[in-house]
Amino acid sequence: MGPLAAESGKSMNFDSFKSLTDAAKAASDKARLAVVNAQDEHTLESIIEATANGLIAPILIGDEAKIKELLTKFKASPSDYRIVHQATAEESLRKAIGLIHAGEATAIMKGALDTGMLMKAIVSKENKLNKGRKISLIGFFEIPRYPKMLALTDMGINTYPDLDGKRDILLNAVETMNSLGFAEPKVALLAATEILNPKMPETVHADQLKKEWQAGSIKGCVIEGPISLDLATSEASAKIKGYRSPVAGSADLLMVPDIVSGNVLAKAITGLAGGSTAGLVIGAAVPVVLTSRSAEASDKYHSIALAAVAGQAR
């Protein structure tokens, strides 16, 4: 459960980004976000806002002089921040990993370094950050026409996962949602049809994962699949088609079959449907914030809030 859920002894679902940020603010022990090579303007702007609003206690790792210069530029006092000087991106990354293992950092965020360098460090057996599963990406969306927060996985890391890969992606997402207070998220394993078709691998994989859930080997969620997007998210569509399932019209998590469908769906939600988003790389020892430099400021802010709450729950 998330911090507020744990403190109240009750499960809670975040129905909006406001409720998510409220949970991060309410935590008595602020999430400690290690920012790797923090001397990046876009990153520091979002960090300053999140810190000022009481979401996190950041650890800024990198070139101390440049970090202080940027903090001052954005009218923040360097003395209010923990700054750990490291001369290079490699040294900054090693320091962040050390802080995670020492229990001093509960989440990690990419600053001015190559994404590939960070991901390589996360999956490296030597760094002991990988839980033994594939690393994946989860996004949370607040959509004007959907009545609650909707999660989506994996739309950015795994290209065409096989059954084992999809199982890892599913387990990563369910574990993350459970940590956020979603006791039994309703999971829709998306396909173009709800009918098993041997010529459509995504329907075969979905059917197998549903059977594993029915057998009790996948826990902490309710699974339906294969299922089409309209049946997963529209009660009206499910009623018209006579489709009965506890997930129908009320999905909490959409799992896509490949990176193409996931990428298109995520961009359609934000670009066409006016949705707001936050995302995390999951499957590692701690949540990882890996936002694009071109991402909206609100997306970065919400992603930090998401990492704060998910990191506190570990």
- Tens digit of pLDDT for each residue in 164-194? 999 999 999 999 999 888 999 999 999 999 9
Q: Is residue 8 predicted with pLDDT exceeding 70?
A: no
Residue with tokens 């920012």: 35
pLDDT, residue 312, reads 74
Statement: residue 111 has pLDDT above 70? yes
Other CB atoms within a 10 A radius of the CB of residue 292 amount to: 13
Cβ-contact 31, 309 below 8 angstroms: yes
Q: With beta carbons less than 8 A apart as the criterion, state whether 189 and 210 touch.
A: yes
Instruction: Kindly list the domain boundaries of the chain, sorted by start residue.
Output: 1-130+284-314, 133-283
Fold classification of 1-130+284-314 (topology level) = Rossmann fold (3.40.50)
**What's the rounded mean pLDDT across residues 135-144?**
96
**pLDDT level of residue 295 (50, 70, 90 thresholds):** confident
In contact, 248 and 235? CB cutoff 8 Å: yes
Whether 1-130+284-314 shares its CATH topology with 133-283 is answered no
Contacts 24+ apart (CB under 8 A), 231-240: 231/194, 232/188, 232/190, 233/146, 233/150, 233/188
pLDDT tens readout for residues 44-87? 999 999 999 999 999 999 999 999 999 999 999 999 999 999 99
d(CA 259, CA 126): 28
pLDDT of residue 47: 96
**Which uninterrupted H or E stretch holds 91?**
helix 89-101
At residue 254, what are phi and psi to the nearest 5 degrees?
-105, 125
| pLDDT over threshold 60, residue 200 | yes
Question: Could you name the CATH architecture of 133-283?
Answer: 3-Layer(aba) Sandwich (3.40)
What pLDDT does residue 39 have?
96
Q: How confident is the model at residue 294 (pLDDT cuts 50, 70, 90)?
A: low
Beta pairing class for 150-153 and 136-142:
antiparallel
Provide the token pair at 198: 């041997």
Long-range CB pairs of 260-268, under 8 A, 24+ apart, other chains included:
261/190, 262/152, 262/153, 262/154, 262/155, 262/156, 263/155, 263/156, 265/152, 265/155, 265/229, 266/139, 266/141, 266/152, 266/155, 266/156
Q: How confident is the model at residue 299 (pLDDT cuts 50, 70, 90)?
A: confident
Percent of the chain topping pLDDT 90: 85
In this structure, the chain runs to a length of 314
